[in-house]
Amino acid sequence: MPDASPRPEPFSASATPAALDDLRARLRATRWPDVPEDAGWSLGADLGYLRELVAYWADGFDWPAQEAALARLPRFRLPLGGLGIHFVHARAVAPAGPVLPLVLSHGWPDSFWRYTKVVPLLTDPGAHGADPADAFDVVVPDMPGFGYSDRPTGAPLDAVAVAGLWAELMGVLGYDRFGAAGGDVGSHVSRYLALDHPDRVVAVHRTDAGLPVFAGDPADLAPEERAWLAGAAAWGATEGAYAAVHRTKPQTAAVGLNDSPAGLAAWIVEKLRAWSDCGQDVERSFTKDEILTNVTLYWLTGTIGSSMRMYRANAAIPPAQHARRVDVPSGFSIFAGDVVRPPRAWLERTANTVRVTEPARGGHFAAFEEPELYAEELRAFFRPYRTAAGAAPA
């Protein structure tokens, strides 16, 4: 009988001139709000910076050039769970030992964009001053409702369901055992991959532990854990309005964000600045072209609403799921500029934690902000687990 399993199909994207003309017209017609004097970033996106960014987006930004750069990555689409899933699948170059397959899971507000800088560092370490024996086969999917993956037409998928899709994806690609890594929403997806597929995930690396969920007696926690819970609550009170909107009424915000590119840029850029290790200047971590590549991906794919709805799905994950402890060997790189940084006591409580590092540079988007440093963190953590995965398929 013929093999009926789904097959990856090569994927490329090319925005139409009409879509780009419409984008530029909307940018030039932006109806700007008033702003108090000297507000800066204190009330949200800085209007002066946003005006500058939008002007460049309308008259200087070269999307076709960025699209061509993204097209240099080997990209595919595959039907999984009734959805078309877009992903990068880059194989190791000239490996000098067993190749470890690695699935990288992004977060919000981004897509496969988060890992575009790090893919060549992981697949061809020898060309970047590292050991060729540390080469990976790298898979970077866009979650459903993000980037070039399909948007769910019914209920949004939560991190548990996405982890199941990634396990299926890795199987279709021929990887029985593999490593998993991620941050933000991708940290949760990687965690559930390890929880639900421990026979296939050899080790899991995360750049955060998510916001803490604890239903037990606080007296049972170490002092630094209690302080972290309090700090996370304080962060939510001052910085968490976006997440409350995403969890509760995402469609209301989606109407404006999907209609106004300036509004979309404001919603995303404020988070890029607040969560990165940029020292108050967002362009210390991201160039205008890098920022606008991320934002334009959201604009052209119309995925801001569907990406926000995943927060609502994740908020409905039962508490019992949050209480599960990861037994798969786990490593954490807690970058100095990230938000809500967990103490080691919490990491050891919630996972079989075998390695914790605290890189001195980088923030919430470490793979993009500090790709060389992030790549070295992954190489070092996964090195002992390469033989456990066996040789990757040719």
Mean pLDDT of 118-143: 97
| 227-232: long-range pairs with CB below 8 Å, 24+ | 227/343, 228/340, 228/342, 228/343, 228/346, 231/340, 232/340
pLDDT at 316 (0 to 100)? 96
Evaluate if residue 389 carries a pLDDT over 90. Answer: no
From 388, 364, 192, select the one nearest 286 (Cα to Cα). Answer: 364
Q: Say which of 205, 364, 374, 385 is annotated catalytic.
A: 364
Least confident of 27-31, 44-48, 313-317, 388-392: 388-392
Q: What is the crossing angle of helices 17-28 and 47-59, to 10°?
A: 150
Condensed to tens digits (0 to 9), the pLDDT of residues 247-258 reads 999 999 999 999
If pLDDT is split at 50, 70 and 90, which confidence band does 1 have?
Answer: very low
pLDDT at 94 (0 to 100)? 86
pLDDT at 4 (0 to 100)? 66
Mean pLDDT of 45-72: 98
Q: CB neighbours (10 Å) of residue 279?
A: 9
Measured distance between the N- and C-terminal CA atoms of the chain, rounded to whole angstroms: 24
Condensed to tens digits (0 to 9), the pLDDT of residues 282-302 reads 999 999 999 999 999 999 999
From 233, 226, 145, select the one nearest 185 (Cα to Cα). Answer: 145
Q: Say which of 311, 338, 374, 385 is annotated catalytic.
A: 311
Q: 155 exposed, middle or buried (CB, 10 Å; 0-12, 13-18, 19+)?
A: exposed
Mean pLDDT of 151-156: 94
* 3-state SS track over the chain: CCCCCCCCEECCCCCCHHHHHHHHHHHHCCCCCCCCCCCCCCCCCCHHHHHHHHHHHHHCCCHHHHHHHHCCCCEEEEEECCEEEEEEEECCCCCCCCCEEEEEECCCCCCHHHHCCCHHHHHCHHHHCCCHHHCEEEEEECCCCCCCCCCCCCCCCCHHHHHHHHHHHHHHCCCCCEEEEECCHHHHHHHHHHHHCCCCEEEEEECCCCCCCCCCCHHHCCHHHHHHHHHHHHHHHHHCHHHHHHHHCHHHHHHHHHHCHHHHHHHHHHHHHHHCCCCCCHHHCCCHHHHHHHHHHHHHHCCHHHHHHHHHHHHCCCHHHHCCCEEEEEEEECCCCCCCCCCHHHHHHHEEEEEEECCCCCCCCHHHHCHHHHHHHHHHHHHHHHHHHCCCCC
If pLDDT is split at 50, 70 and 90, which confidence band does 215 have?
Answer: confident
Mean pLDDT of 142-154: 97
Q: Say which of 184, 208, 277, 338 is annotated catalytic.
A: 184
The answer to whether the beta carbons of residues 355 and 385 sit under 8 Å apart is: no
If pLDDT is split at 50, 70 and 90, which confidence band does 390 have?
Answer: low
If pLDDT is split at 50, 70 and 90, which confidence band does 96 have?
Answer: confident
Condensed to tens digits (0 to 9), the pLDDT of residues 158-204 reads 999 999 999 999 999 999 999 999 999 999 999 999 999 999 999 99
pLDDT at 106 (0 to 100)? 98
CA distance 373 to 379: 10
pLDDT at 271 (0 to 100)? 97
Evaluate if residue 354 carries a pLDDT over 50. Answer: yes
Evaluate if residue 243 carries a pLDDT over 70. Answer: yes
CATH code of 17-22+43-389, in short, is: 3.40.50.1820
Active-site residue, 364 included = yes
Mean pLDDT of 311-339: 96
CA distance 183 to 108: 9
Could you tell me what percent of the chain has a pLDDT over 70? 97
